Structure formats: structure tokens, C-alpha cells
Structure 1
Amino acid sequence: MELHVVIEGDSDQTGQLYRQLKEAISAGHLPAGQRLPASRQLATQLGLSRKVVAEAYARLSYDRLVVGRIGSGTYVSDYGRRQPLAQPPPPLGGSQVAERWRGQPTSLRRGVLATASRARHELLPGRPDIQLFPQDEWRRCVIWGLRQASRAGLVYGDARGLPMLREAIARHVAFARGVRCTADDIVITNGAQQAIDLVARALIEPGCAVAVEDPGYAPARMLFAALGARVHAVPVDHEGMVVEQIPDGARLIHATPTHQYPLGMALSPRRRLALLDRARALGAIVIEDDYDSELRYSGRPADALQSVDDDGCVAFVGSFSKTLSPDLRLGYVVAPPSLLDAICNAKLLTDWHTSTPMQWALARFIDGGELLRHVRRTQQAYAARRERLGLRIDTVLSHWLERVPSVAGLHLSAMFRAPVDARRLVGHAWRAGVALESLDACQVRPGQRGGLMFGLGTIELAEVDAAVEMLRLSLAQLHP
């Protein structure tokens, strides 16, 4: 038989083949009992090495999707295939809750989808440059971390996290962000998203009010809604979140004071004090989502909102997804005293603790000065791309876009000067070879001014001009 498989480029050919065969089996295009081509035959057909095909078959075999028969070949198995139900299942008692989770937009899977189908030029926000990742330094730290974990007995660890890592983070955020804390105030999490989730679990019950920025960080907003909260979208202007519109009764406020997501401005000094006053009056907790503020390119470094919080109103959330890699899934929350024990218990009941070997590795990486050196190196690379991209937006794309001023972060945002069908534009640009995102998913209230986000981590400096020119052609074609 001849399989319909398309291999794009030279990267991860084994993974590409494995995923396409797995999808074909799951969809029923390759039925149980179907014999797959011999590895040598398929390799010749696809122009691959036999090793690539053999490894893909081995992964499918490990997943029990195929089975090898000595002297006969490799066949699709019937493992895991659902049998038709003899009768309809009974009504699900929790159907409303399940539907709330099932109804979350699939746009959250964009990272997986974009990896499977790469564009020629990528301007996707929120992704650091994987080519800048300090492979050698991190590898040495991981090996050291594995040794430490082995010596400790490879047992369950403290839900709060490894003491050495908490101490390293406490020193780092005090130096880099002005955060006032000790190791005892910190809980290690699987990325910033889990940190936000733990704070939410400790405070939210169905029907309570939560305030978020609009436009704002969609995964946090959707998480609060999925937990049953009434989510109130608070407008953002040139000074950041319009604090006066935070509703009465809000018990949780999600904000990005230093680098507003997705627009990029900082919360003004006046609004910072007003936000703390409003939280104090409401008895609310502010989640300060400090997602990429260490990447600063000009001006005096702005301290965290938590640094001026004297009433325990702020839960400072950070991660290493933007400075190192989102794949590491390492984050933390500096919890206010009123929430610390609740967050620790929520972490314990959710997943016990974050991977201990990775915590050892990160602690070594920070204490050895590698994190600061890496941030400085990446800042230089991103600064050059940011300057070039900003210049091209201000000139080549100025007929359609107005750039939002910002001094930090891993992306730039620009607003449309006139109404533009952003969804159609993004699709057209992607097909033309430029991957980027619009502000649509970040916006809640209807009628807001649209715009685009330009990531700095997924494009080389030499590619910027070509990517912008291709986007200009898409804009000119759709909105002359």
C-alpha cells in the first residue's frame, strides 16, 4: 500500500512520521489488521533514512498502536479502540461542569498546532528563541540535579518546592524585580499557569467576582470562568488597567502591571497605588503576573507591584518560560501570608510537587550566575530585533498600524488605524508564509480597536524585513 504522508524539512522527521501515522490510525484511515509497508520500502517512498521509519514504528509499537509479527510484517492493532455502546450512556450528573471545560476555545492549543505546521517567518508572541537556549550550561545543571535527587532517595518532596531553589528565587527576584520575600514565602509550580490556578483555587467559588484586564491574558480569564467565577472585564487605557472600574465584591484581580499583556504599557504610578488601595478596600488579592518583565530594553527598571504592598494584597507570579523555555514548566508564586498555607495545600492535593531533579538543576543554574548571563545575552538579541521590527512597523506598515509604546517584553503590539478583519488577515498572512497573532483572543468587550502582536523570539533579525514586507502585501491585498 502507499501511505499519504508529507514530511516537511529536515527537523524531527521521526516525530512528523510518527504523528501522521498515529493520526491516521486514530481516525480509522488505517484500520485494525492493516499491514504497514516495510520500513525499507516506506523509507524509499518518502526519501527518508530507514532509521527514521524504524524509530517511528518503534514508537507506535510502544503505544500499542501497531504490532510486529515475525516473518510477516507490522500491522495496525486494535488496542484501545472503543467498542460501540450497547445502549446510550446514562445522563451525566456533572454535565454542566464538564461542558464548561469542554467549551474552552481550542485556540489554547496554538503552540502545538503551530509547531506541527511551521510558517516561513514566525512572529508568534510569548516564545523565546530556542536557538539561544544555553544547552551546554543547562545540561550540566540537569546532570548535577539528577545526582542530587538520586542521593536524596528519589522520594516525594516538599509541596512548597526544594529549599535551595526557593532561596535562589528569593535572591533573584529581590535583585531583578525588587520583590520583598524569603524562601518561606515561595511555592514552586509547574509554570505560571499553575501558580495562577493555585491562587484561584484558594479563593474562587462558583458565583464569586473576579476582575481581569481587557484586553488581557486569555488563559487566566478562561481558567477563572471554568472554576465558576463571574469574570468582569476591566478596560485598559494608556495608563494600564482602569482601576476605578474594578467591580464591588471582586475577591481576585488579575493584572500585569509592569508590562501589560498584550498591549505592553506599564501601569502608571498613580494607578499602581490606586490598585493597591482598591484591593485593600475590597479585601481582594491581586495576582501580579510578571510574565516577561525581566526583558527590559530602556529606562529605569520598574520594581514589582509587590515591592510596595504593605498589606499582603499581592500574590507575585513568575516563571522561567520566557527567560529560558516554556517546555521546562517551572514557575513560582510569592504568596501573601494570608494565602500561603492554602496555596501549599492546593499544590499538595493537585500534584504533590514539581519535578525535583529539574528544581535542583534550576537552583544550580541560578546560583551559578547562568540565569543572569543568559538574560543579558538574550536581551541583546531581542533588542536588535525589537528595534528593527519597531522601525518597520512605524514606516512600512504605518498606513495600517500604530505601534503601542513599550519598554520591555518578548513582543510588540500595534493597533489598526481603521477597522480590519483581523482573523482573515492572520489566515492570509499565514498562508503567505508569516505566522502572527491578532489581539482578538485577548479581548472580551465588543467593539474594541483591533491589532496585531509581533513576537521577538521566533524570528531572526535578518528575516524581519522580509516578514514585514510579506505582511504588507497581505494588508495591501485585503485592505488597500
Structure 2
Amino acid sequence: MTAFHISLVGRKNLSGEIYRQIRRAVLDRRLRPGDPLPPGRELARTLAVSRATVTVVYERLAAEGFVTSRQGSGTFISELVVPAGREKTGRRSTGVLQPRQIWEAIAPPPAFEPVRFDFHAGFCDASLFPHGAWRRSVVWALRSGEATAGTYEHPAGHHDLSVAIARHIGISRGIGAASDDIIVTNGTQQALDVLARVLLAPGDAIAIEDPGYGPPRHLFKALGIRIVGVPVDRQGLVVDALPRGIRAVYVTPSHQFPLSVTMTLPRRQALLAWAERNNAAIIEDDYDSEFRFGGRPLEPLQTLDAKGRVIYVGSFSKTMLPTLRLGFILTPPSLRAAVHKAKFVSDWHSSTPAQAALARFIDEGAFARHIRRVNAIYRERHQIIADAIANDFAEHLELIPSTTGLHLTALARKMSADQIAEIARRAADRSVAVQILSRFAVNAIPRAGIMLGYGAIPTPRIEEGLHLLRACFDSEPP
């Protein structure tokens, strides 16, 4: 069994103290029914007490029904022990320490309850994941020895994965990246945390899209960074609305979250020119642009940047699985050393076996095959939802055109944000989950509309789910 801790420092009644600590561990369920206790001789040696002392303890626990002995097998926790919650015990103090007040203003992590018709945005379809191919890559990584060498990795990450990522974004996004400028992170959120620590001091200001993705906003606030919401229109971030004094801008130009618009080329050029005039950094979050269903792809901001002001952030949470917690930063050489240090002080490095497995998965072509396969499936789902909004919801919703990513967005034609929120509540009662635009507002008046993701819902359920959602627009509130 796993060794459990017993402290006898400063104790006089040794047998009584051993008894009380084992009994407490049993009642607290740290030792569970059926768990074996160590042999008396072994426990006596570990605690530096006589074997007779331990024998007295085990006999007392057996007499009270906490343990049972099996001839030739050992001593085990009894199956009939009463849980600690049913025993009258002293209440543990909640503690006098208090968190900084900023944490009162930050929402807790979302809890996604299982629903039959899940239109949440930002999810991939885990049932489409190539488990067999991934399992082979993981087994290879574990057998290779490099991923299990027992040493710490460089903060930038596994070299083979950096090379694979540089090649991948070079082919898929036209980005000419040196592998030395790739830093592997635990997803986008850690990438933003690392970059904020490198670029911004408490009190500095960062501009974010309004409406925009919530978790980065909470992260920046927690670091003491001032948040400035900048409006988004059909062409993307409104560059003319950027105020002076901004040190960095966080944008999602390829597929704006949550409005789904793609930043136009003139607007991208204007943003780059603004950053140069104001000596500011641009953090480009390209979270799901691998999925394209038509139109000519626009170049990432990073490829238009001639001054080294754009930091490109990518993630494998949508293309692979969010549970892998793998993403990356493509940083200008001028920031490379500082980003390495920030990653080091954050968590040293990301999981080496997972990185080695992903490197092989990309190198063998399994990643590209997976993207081609799921892209066809997501394209079909995208079209079903787009057609339904254009036809069945036309009276109430206006679809924002989009040919990228894993969600579509529609603005309310006449309804208010509160009315849309009520419709979402009615839909939830019918096991239909949608997200409303108003919850992504930063400073501006919340917009009325909904987001419909198609990564988490199987294709055969989409039409039925949309039918139930459409009925919520006509039904009266209870």
C-alpha cells in the first residue's frame, strides 16, 4: 500500500497517538475500506517504535471494528467503518487567510452540464479523435526513452515538437517560422499568462475586443493589468477606437470570438501601423482557423508584420483535445529569452511525453489526416446551421457570415439582450445549450444574439436541436 504519514514528534503516548492518527485517516476516508495496513514489523521500523507498541494499536483498532485481520494476508481496513460525516467531531477552521479582492470579481470556471443538444462554442468532437493513431504515438514516445529520461526539459519545450509546429504553421498558415522561436505551452491561457508577464507590468493597459473571449480578460485583471475594451464591427477590431497609452492589443483576427467575423486586410494593415506608431505589441490568437469551409484565407497578422510586433499564439485544444493542454507561442527573436524565463518560472516546461507524442503524430502525417477528416464533418454541420438560421430563424436572427472555425453567430433583429437570455433559459429547459452574446461584453452595451457551436453536437442531432430552439422563440415564458 502507499505509505501514509504518522507524526510522533513531541508525542509521549506513542501507542495512543498511532491509534488516533490511523483512526482519523480511516474516518476521513484517506484510508478506505479494504486498504491494507503495513505489517506491524514494517510500521514499527518506519516509526522507530517497538513492535509491541504497534501490536497494541492493531489489536485496539480490531476490537473497535476499524480493521480486520486475515490469516496469512495481513490487516485491512474494515468494510463496516462509519464515515467521518456521521460522527460528531470538531469542525475544522475555515481559516483566517483571505484572497486578494480581485478574485471576488472573477467568475469561477464554467461548469458544463451534459445536455442532449449541446451547441456550446469552443468544443471539438472528441468522438472524432483518432485514438488508435494517437495511442501508437504515445507508446512510441514512452518507449523512446527521450521522453522518460528523468531530466527536466528546456522551457521552450521538446525540440522535435517545435520543429513540427514550425513546419505545420508554415504549410497551413504560410508562416515562415524558425523552430527556435516556438515555445510550447499548456494551452492558450498559459501562453497569454507568459506573454503578459513578459510585456506588461501592473497598471499597464491592454486592449481587448469588445465583445471578446472571457478567460484572457480575467487573467489580465488578476495580474493587475488595466483592461480597455475596443469595439468590433463587421471588419474586425475598430482600430480608430484604440486609445493612447495601450501597451498591447489582444485580438482574434482570423475568426473573432464571439462574433465570427474575419478582420479585413485594410483593418489588419491599420492595426499594424497603429502598433508601430504607439510602440505596442499585438498578441494574435489563432485558435481555430485550421477549419475553413470556403473563401480565400487571409494572411495571419504575423505574416504581414515586418517590425516584429506580432506574437502569434496557437492551440491544439480544438484540433486535437483540450485535455492534452498543449499550445504554443511564436515570438519575435527580441522576446525569446524573456519568454523562456517566464515559462521557466511558471512551470519549467510542459509534459515531455505528450510533446514527444504530438511531434511524432504530426511528423507521420496523422495530424494532417485528422484535420482533413474532421474538416469535412464540421463543414457539413456548419452548413446545416447556417441554412437553418437563414431560413427558419430569419424572422428573429441575422446570421453573421463566416467560413471558419467551430461556431456561428447570429444577431437578434428586434429582441433585446434580456429577451435572448430568456430564450436561452427556455432552451436549457429543453436540454438545448446555446451561448448568448451579452455575456461576452466588456465595456459596451451588451449585444443581443446567440452563438451556435457545432463541435460538441453530433450531426444527426443538429436539426432536432435547432427545431427545439426555434420553438423557444415563439413560446411564452412560464
TM-score range relative to shorter protein: 0.7 to 0.9
Aligned-pair distance for 1:425? 2.2
- 1:281-312 CA deviation, whole Å, 9 max, x = no partner? 11111100000011000012222110111100
- 1:130-170 CA deviation, whole Å, 9 max, x = no partner? 11000000000011111234576221111000110000000
> Residue 470 of structure 1 corresponds to which residue in structure 2?
468
CA gap of 1:152–1:461, structure 2 versus 1, over 3 A, is closer
Contact 1:287 1:317 in 2 (8 A): yes
> Residue 428 of structure 2 corresponds to which residue in structure 1?
430
Equivalent position SS for 1:447: coil
Distance in 2 (alpha carbons) for counterparts of 1:393 and 1:440:
19
- 1:186-242 CA deviation, whole Å, 9 max, x = no partner? 100000111111111111212111100001111111211111111110000010000
> Residue 225 of structure 1 corresponds to which residue in structure 2?
221
Deviates more, 1:126-135 or 1:199-208: 199-208
CA gap of 1:386–1:33, structure 2 versus 1, over 3 A, is closer
Distance in 2 (alpha carbons) for counterparts of 1:71 and 1:366:
51
2:263 to 254, 263, 267: 267
> Residue 164 of structure 2 corresponds to which residue in structure 1?
168
Deviates more, 1:201-210 or 1:146-155: 146-155
Count of residue pairs the alignment pairs up: 409
Equivalent position SS for 1:312: coil
Contact 1:420 1:450 in 2 (8 A): yes
Aligned-pair distance for 1:259? 0.9
Deviates more, 1:461-470 or 1:325-334: 461-470
Q: Does 1:299 align with 2:295?
A: yes
Distance in 2 (alpha carbons) for counterparts of 1:119 and 1:161:
37
Equivalent position SS for 1:415: strand
Q: Does 1:441 align with 2:443?
A: no
Contact 1:148 1:360 in 2 (8 A): no
Distance in 2 (alpha carbons) for counterparts of 1:397 and 1:184:
49
1:187 to 183, 189, 205: 183
- 1:405-457 CA deviation, whole Å, 9 max, x = no partner? 11100110111112142333222211111011111221113423211111111
Question: Structure 1: which amino acid aligns with 2:102?
Answer: R
> Residue 399 of structure 2 corresponds to which residue in structure 1?
403
> Residue 450 of structure 2 corresponds to which residue in structure 1?
452
Equivalent position SS for 1:280: helix
Contact 1:215 1:442 in 2 (8 A): yes
CA gap of 1:151–1:141, structure 2 versus 1, over 3 A, is closer
Question: Structure 1: which amino acid aligns with 2:80?
Answer: G
Q: Does 1:123 align with 2:119?
A: yes
Equivalent residue runs for 1:39-58 within 5 Å = none
Where in structure 1 are there 5+ consecutive unaligned residues?
Answer: 1-30, 40-65
Distance in 2 (alpha carbons) for counterparts of 1:313 and 1:105:
31
1:342 to 334, 338, 346: 338
Question: Structure 2: which amino acid aligns with 1:378?
Answer: V
CA gap of 1:322–1:67, structure 2 versus 1, over 3 A, is farther
Distance in 2 (alpha carbons) for counterparts of 1:436 and 1:149:
45
Question: Structure 1: which amino acid aligns with 2:336?
Answer: L
Distance in 2 (alpha carbons) for counterparts of 1:280 and 1:240:
19
> Residue 244 of structure 2 corresponds to which residue in structure 1?
248
Question: Structure 2: which amino acid aligns with 1:362?
Answer: L
Contact 2:142 2:148 in 1 (8 A): no
> Residue 3 of structure 2 corresponds to which residue in structure 1?
none
Q: Does 1:177 align with 2:173?
A: yes
- Report sequence identity in percent: 40
Contact 2:251 2:284 in 1 (8 A): yes
> Residue 380 of structure 2 corresponds to which residue in structure 1?
384
> Residue 73 of structure 1 corresponds to which residue in structure 2?
80
Equivalent position SS for 2:333: coil
Contact 2:438 2:447 in 1 (8 A): no
C-alpha root-mean-square deviation of aligned residues, in Å? 2.6
Distance in 1 (alpha carbons) for counterparts of 2:381 and 2:81:
49
Contact 1:125 1:457 in 2 (8 A): yes
CA gap of 1:305–1:473, structure 2 versus 1, over 3 A, is same
> Residue 96 of structure 2 corresponds to which residue in structure 1?
89
- 1:330-367 CA deviation, whole Å, 9 max, x = no partner? 00000112221111101000101000000000000111
TM-score by length of 1: 0.80
> Residue 330 of structure 1 corresponds to which residue in structure 2?
326
> Residue 216 of structure 1 corresponds to which residue in structure 2?
212
Distance in 2 (alpha carbons) for counterparts of 1:67 and 1:252:
62
Question: Structure 2: which amino acid aligns with 1:257?
Answer: P
Distance in 2 (alpha carbons) for counterparts of 1:415 and 1:82:
55
Where in structure 2 are there 5+ consecutive unaligned residues?
Answer: 1-25, 35-65, 69-75
Quick check: which has more Rg, 1 or 2? Answer: 2
